[in-house]
Amino acid sequence: MNDKRKIGVLALQGDFAEHMASLRKLGAEALAVRLPQDLESLDGLIIPGGESTTIGRLMVSYGFVQTLRQLSQDGFPVFGTCAGMVLLARSALDLLDVATIGAMGIKVRRNAFGRQVDSFETLLSVPALGEVPFPGVFIRAPIIIETEPGVEILASLPDGTPVGAKQGNLLVSAFHPELTSDLRFHAYFLDVVSRGARSQ
Ligand code: GLN
């Protein structure tokens, strides 16, 4: 499962350093992506958690949105966590004035848990990762409220709310696997990357 692939982490704002550390622990090469030309020669990209309106505005000013929309449609593997999930979604409630990449067939609600319960941890059942539950760290997290055909739900809260999904080359989680020592979600993304490479 370990991999020497080159994975970029969008480093405009948010917790990109933690994602880079998780990728390196798995033996992948992790590169900070600050400009669209940094995407060249990468095997995949992670869009981290942070503030989706801030990351979204910076993505527009640096010219990332169209490029990433096209790359995602062409099969380039992208993993969006939390704010990154919001930016990959086809549409997001309450995203103010920011254009999203819009590549993944999900509709999300930002800050879905409100101020009362804005951060929490819970064990998630993620069948694709095996029987051991995954530690879900939620910080002002979004949820998935609609899915288009072809979207596979990977993780749900105990009440059934979807919080992780996959659609071909695209992977999203409302929670933060990079803030845990459990590397299975990143390893799963590296598998998506390797599978894409094999089918090219
Ligand atoms: N609430 C943030 C947003 O929607 C996401 C929070 C996070 O990434 N931890 O932008």
Separation of 124 CA from ligand 1 center, angstroms? 19
Which residues, given as ranges, of the chain have pLDDT below 70?
A: 1-3, 116, 197-200
Q: What residue type is assigned to position 155 of the chain?
A: A
Q: What is the pLDDT of residues 124-182, one digit of tens each?
A: 999 999 999 999 999 999 999 999 999 999 999 999 999 999 999 999 999 999 999 99
Active site residue 176: yes
Strand order in the sheet with 89-93: 89-93, 104-109, 143-147
Task: Tell which atom from ligand 1 comes closest to the C-alpha of 54.
Answer: 10
The boundaries of the domain holding residue 24 are 6-199
The catalytic position among 18, 19, 176, 186 is 176
Q: What is the pLDDT of residue 1?
A: 47
Assess if residue 146 is contained within a domain.
yes
What pTM value is reported for the model? 0.95
In short, whether 162's Cβ falls inside 6 Å of ligand 1 is: no
Assess if residue 1 is contained within a domain.
no
Assess if residue 133 is contained within a domain.
yes
The domain total for the chain is: 1
Residue nearest to ligand 1 atom 8, measured at CA = 49
Give the contacts of 114 (CB within 8 A, at least 6 positions apart): none
Active site residue 178: yes
Q: Residue 179 sits in a domain of what CATH number?
A: 3.40.50.880
